[in-house]
Amino acid sequence: MIDPAAASGVAHGEPLVAFADALVGADDAALERAREELGALLGPAGLVDAAAVASNFERMVRIADGTGIPLDAPVRLVAADLTGELGIAHFGSAANTPAPTLPQRVLARVLQPFTRGLLRLVFRRARA
């Protein structure tokens, strides 16, 4: 999450975000505090699950960045506003994704108010 003040709606969301931030940070004391808090809330098995999920996401990002996987054109179009917001252009593999054409940029602006809803719909359909 970009904004830690934003409510995620996930149970124990704040401690999970603190744990995820500490995992990728350099502050060992913050990681220890986050690990203790999360372990107290979720128990040892829940802490292991949280660490596994965070590790899997980190692994996927490193693989995608290391292999230079470009964004597909439809994803690039629908997520144009999110890519800037998430700082995706700062990853090395972003150089492998072609810049959007003028018609694609215009269409992305038109779709921008619907982007988050479209992504939610895609996510729901993928889970079904």
Closest of 80, 86, 115 to residue 100, by C-alpha: 80
Whether residue 97 sits in one domain with residue 128: yes
Q: Is 83 helix (H, G, I), strand (E, B) or coil?
A: helix
Residue 12 in this model has a pLDDT that exceeds 70: yes
Within 13 A of 54's CA, how many CA atoms are on the CB side? 18
Which domain-ending residue is among 67, 83, 105?
67
Whether residue 62 sits in one domain with residue 4: yes
Question: What would the pLDDT profile of 107-118 be if each residue is shown by its tens digit?
Answer: 888 877 877 777
Tokens of 94: 């972003």
pTM of the model: 0.52
In this structure, are residues 76 and 100 in contact, taking their beta carbons and an 8 Å threshold?
Answer: yes
Whether residue 54 sits in one domain with residue 41: yes
